[in-house]
Structure 1
Amino acid sequence: MGVQGLTTLLEKHRRIYRDLRLSHRRLLIDGTNLYHQLYYNSGLDQNHGGEYAAFAALIERFVKALRDCQITPYIVLDGGSDISEMKNETVMQRAVDRIKRAHRAAQGGRRENILPTLVKLVLLQTLRRLDVQVAQCYGEADPEIAALAREWQCPVLSGDSDFYIYDLPEGLLPLSHFQWEAVERRGSNSYIPCKSYNTSSFCIFFKIQRQLLPAFAALAGNDFVKLHRLQNFQKPQEAFEAALGLMGELSSNKKAEVMKGLNLGMEEYQLPPSALKRFFIHGIAPPFSTEVAGVPDWSRLPLIQAWLPAEFLDVLLLQRMSFRVFVELAAAPSAHLTARPLRQTASTASSLQLSLKTLDKVLLEALGVPEASLAPVPPALRLPVCVTCFWLQRAQPPPDEKVLKALLLGLNSGDASRGVKPKKLDMKVSHSLNQWQSCLKSSMQLNQLLGRPLPEPPLSRLFEGTLVYQLVHRMRYGRKKRPFLKEDPCSVMLFDTIQAVRGEDLQQLFPLEEEEEEASSSGWVQENLRLSELLSVKTRFRAKHRKNRSKNPELARKEECRGMDLL
């Protein structure tokens, strides 16, 4: 959860840090903090649904910088929520704050640090493609990261202030000072300039005993926690008793309650033996603790591999799950309501024994798509097709025709939206696209729970919010779509070949400008055509026949996109 005010304090006293050139090391990375800070600090769009292709490219550059310096990353992510529910008040306060910030972003269009909903999934897909070691904890990741850093004698990269309290032998590398985009080269070696923090430097600078640091963290936010007041104490209990004395007259019960909370706060910084070491070295998932005894044992490995979403644990243990906040007005119905039937199916399926032969049927029945209708669709696009059909049937209000067209045209657009200024927010368009993203995320989580009977689509090529927004704007105001898409060959081929392949039939769904340019067909063009055909069966935009279908669109896609894992 972090230590209130600690990062600000240290930024005022930077002499505590020491300069470091990092290379040839293992590096444990706080993955949850990483994807938040990378996205927030990159300048990528937050308000139009996300720029996932650019984010995937950012992760690629980050990993390349590490590997250029012979740094081996091990990325560790948070898992399920705190089952003790001791932090519920803080969690609720932060949720309310996010809703308020999302409302301000919707009203004024400013960046309010609202993370697009598919960012974590894009991170995981990209890291797997790059063959980076990843672990998802069963609970909070901080103590697991600190415990492994102690055993491996390696530094930790994070922006979470909790790591300023853990006694890390090789220290903490604050993410804000980790200059991975400014790699230095000396001879045959490369280094990343950064700053390193160690608890001993903190204690020497502020003249307090190291064993008092957890007490300092537990007291953070209380008026007592002035560092000079801790200088006269040797033991945490002495500091706690002095703090109680400054809180005024308290009943015995209240004092006991406060003291219990302070002691529990300190216990968070007592490190157990690492549960991740065997997983990273031997691929063996750690056992569940007694607190999560009701979770089926088969789920341990896919959970720690992050093939099962962390929300799986919340549903089983807490009978609830939390959601990413979308940029939308606070008074509007949540976009997540559209995907509720999918989450209900996931909740039911998680407690049932299903045969392997029925897993795909459970998924397709939940999405309302007959299995036979997917036969002509390339495997990598089957899940997005099903999601879009489900969205068209369930979304309220019904999606606008132009939003559907823009969404289909935007599929697989790659980098087409880079450098384009986003349009002013339209709440109706935003709400509809938020519903689609919520349906996509819930369907992917259900697909993971069922063992992935359908291949996962490559999200970084599937949806770009700024591009879809631009296409909707151009359709509304009659502007040509081609100039905007000219940098994306797949989209150019789509527009150039649609009329030749489909003729007048497709004009009902995709009216084209009167312009003639030569272009050749591609695998992805044919996939888009098949996608629009399937959807036209499910909606009022019905087409007659398909023509000139690519013989092997999946192979064409694999040849076109380097290293893309279509599973």
Structure 2
Amino acid sequence: MEDYGQSDVNLEDFFQNGNYESEVARKLELPQWMLEALAKGNLSPFISDALILRRTILHVQVENMQRPSAHTVALPIRQIIYGLLLNTSQNDVTSPSKQSNKLPVVREFDRVQKTLKKSFVPTTVLPLDFCKDHHPLATLTQVSRSNRLELLLETLRVKDSILQPCPSSLRLPVAVTCFWTYYSEPKVKLHHLQALLLGMVFGELHRTTSSPDPEVFHSKDDKMLYDQFLKWKEKHFQKLLDLDTAHAFCQWQCCLQMGLYLNQLLSTPLPEPDLTRLYCGNLVHRLCQELKSAHAAETLLISSPKMSQLYCDLLHAVKSTVPQDFFQETTTKTKSRKEKNKQAQTTRQHATLEAQPLCDVNNRFASLMVED
């Protein structure tokens, strides 16, 4: 109950003058830049929970409860966040005095099927290049942008050169999408990725067509395509919710959430995207149905060359981070191989029957002598 007592912070002084003084915050001995960022909402409470309480709660979405939690795929990102907050460096591993001590851990509350479970997650040792100067949390904002960007992109498993053709506002979501595509379980399908990227294109269309700024140019083709996206968004399907598709997009949202938190903790080396225009669940699920039927993603954008090029840039960026055969369907190959084996078996049986003596034709038990 004491945790929910009245705060000693003068909120009027904070909102009018930006002054923030808290006795509780001073006792926590947090870096000044972090106190200011938390007060202004530039850092999530997830960060302060992990740092102060060493405890985080991972909220459950509408996902497939029979599969592992959607948060599982984003675990490597969270471990880097914990490593930054708890100052886990190479010294913790190489120092003889600390070899007997285990790495710091954070308690995570997540689901296992429909049951809440607590697990102890060890932090990840930060890369040697980032730790060679041993940046403590208090001086994290003083690290060069290039080093902070390198750590962010290394965590998301993507190179900066791959993101260059993408608009600056979409580089972080595309980097997160690269991470999600590579680590998703079960493996993400091509139509999932295409629908997700088309949703980002829709967000760009919404930004340009609704902007009052006269310098933001949009053509009639863009307006026509935007209206078509709205029709897809409002289109009703008779099929029930595809749980595996919903689970895949929940995994992406978990990766995006932790990617945003890591980017914020590193003082935004990549611009923050406009989340209100980044993802629309109804539209993305509808597009999945469209793409699974007969439509190709490129044909949906044929009326707008500009947006078609944007989509191709986004798709190429993601595809360049996975093997070339990553999206090839293995079921078709397996099925065709089974059909060939069955045909060969049938041919052998016919050949064996034809090789039997003519007297066996009238013997109804002759087929029992046929070797398979």
Q: Which residue pairs with 2:201 in the alignment?
A: 412
Q: Aligned equivalents of 2:194 and 2:77: distance in 1? A: 24
Match of 1:469 in 2: 285
Q: CA deviation at 1:413?
A: 1.5
The reply on whether 1:458 has 2:274 as its aligned counterpart is: yes
Q: Is the contact between residue 199 and residue 283 of structure 2 (CA under 8 Å) also seen in structure 1?
A: yes
Q: Is the 8 A contact 2:70 2:250 kept in 1?
A: yes
What amino acid is the match of 1:424?
A: L
Structure 1: stretches of 5+ with no match in the other structure: 1-85, 88-138, 141-267, 483-490, 497-518, 543-567
Distance 1:426 1:463 in 2: 18
- Share of identical aligned residues, percent? 33
Superposition CA RMSD, Å: 2.6
- State whether residues 447 and 453 of structure 1, in contact with CA within 8 Å, keep that contact through their aligned partners in structure 2: yes
CA distance in 2 between counterparts of 1:400 and 1:307 reads 34
More helix per residue: 1 or 2? 2
2:236 is equivalent to residue 421 of structure 1: yes
In 1, distance between residues paired with 2:172 and 2:59? 21
- Tell me the secondary structure at the aligned position of residue 289 of structure 1: helix
Alignment match of 1:376 (pick from 165, 171, 195): 165
Match of 1:341 among 72, 76, 81: 76
After superposition, what is the alpha-carbon deviation per residue over 1:226-250, rounded to whole angstroms, capped at 9, x for unaligned? xxxxxxxxxxxxxxxxxxxxxxxxx
Report if aligned partners of 2:77, 2:155 keep a CA contact under 8 Å in 1. Answer: yes
* 1:529 paired to 2:312: yes
CA distance in 1, matches of 2:264, 2:150: 14
Q: How many residues align structurally?
A: 244
**Deviation of residue 288 (structure 1)?**
4.9
Report the Cα distance in structure 2 between the residues aligned to 1:275 and 1:320, rounded to whole angstroms: 28
Confirm whether residue 359 of structure 1 aligns to residue 180 of structure 2: no
Shift of 1:382: 0.7
**Distance in 1 separating the partners of 2:188 and 2:84:** 29
Query: How far did 1:532 drift?
Result: 1.2
Higher RCO, 1 vs 2 (CA within 8 Å, ≥6 residues apart):
2
Deviation by residue 1:26-76 (Cα, 9 ceiling, x = unmatched): xxxxxxxxxxxxxxxxxxxxxxxxxxxxxxxxxxxxxxxxxxxxxxxxxxx
Change (3 A) 1:530 1:350: same
Q: Which residue of 1 aligns with 2:103?
A: none
CA distance in 2, matches of 1:395, 1:434: 10
Partners of 1:287 and 1:300 within 8 A in 2: no
SS in 2 for 1:321: strand
Structure 2 equivalent of residue 17 of structure 1: none
Measure, in 1, the Cα distance between the counterparts of 2:174 and 2:284.
Answer: 17
The one-letter code of the counterpart of 1:466 is N
1:273 Cα shift?
A: 4.8
Partners of 1:412 and 1:463 within 8 A in 2: no
Q: Does 1:304 align with 2:39?
A: yes
Q: Deviation digits for residues 366-423 of structure 1, max 9, x if unmatched? A: 0011122222222111111111110111111111122112112221314735433365
Partner of 2:177: 388
SS of the counterpart of 2:286?
helix
Q: How does 1:170-181 map to 2 (within 5 A)?
A: none
User: Residues 292 and 428 of structure 1: is their aligned pair in 2 closer, same or farther, counting only changes over 3 Å?
Assistant: farther
Q: Who is 1:439 aligned against?
A: 255
TM-score by length of 1: 0.40
Counterparts of 1:62-77 in structure 2 under 5 Å? Answer: none
Residue-by-residue CA offset, 1:165-206 (whole Å, 9 max, x unaligned): xxxxxxxxxxxxxxxxxxxxxxxxxxxxxxxxxxxxxxxxxx
Instruction: Indicate if the aligned counterparts of 2:196 and 2:284 stay in contact, CA closer than 8 A.
Output: yes
Task: Write out aligned runs for 1:84-95 (5 A).
Answer: none
Q: 2:333: which partner in 1?
A: none
Distance 1:301 1:290 in 2: 10
C-alpha contact (below 8 Å) 1:294/1:317 kept by paired residues: no
Equivalent residue for 1:495, pick from 289, 298, 301 = 301
- Equivalent residue runs for 1:5-16 within 5 Å: none
Deviation readout 1:147-169 (Å, 9 max, x if unpaired): xxxxxxxxxxxxxxxxxxxxxxx
Distance 1:400 1:283, change over 3 A: same
Q: Matched residues in 2 for 1:481 and 1:467: separation?
A: 16
**Counterparts of 2:256 and 2:188 in 1: how far apart (Å)?**
15
SS in 1 for 2:150: helix
Q: Shift of the alpha carbon at 1:452?
A: 0.5
Are the counterparts in 1 of residues 166 and 310 from structure 2 also a CA contact under 8 Å? yes
In structure 2, C-alpha distance between the alignment counterparts of 1:443 and 1:387, rounded to whole Å: 6
CA distances 1:62-120 after superposition (whole Å, capped 9, x unpaired): xxxxxxxxxxxxxxxxxxxxxxxx69xxxxxxxxxxxxxxxxxxxxxxxxxxxxxxxxx
Deviations 1:313-341 (A, max 9, x none): 10011112112211124342100010011
* Residues 387 and 443, structure 1, Cα contact 8 Å, conserved in 2: yes
Give the partner amino acid of 2:161. Answer: A
Give the 3-state SS of the residue equivalent to 2:305 in structure 1: coil
Alignment of 1:265-304 (within 5 A): 268=5, 271=6, 273-289=8-24, 293-304=28-39
* 8 A Cα contact 1:342 1:366, kept in partner: yes
CA distance in 2, matches of 1:280, 1:347: 31
CA shift in 2, pair 1:300/1:291, >3 Å = closer
SS of equivalent to 1:306? coil
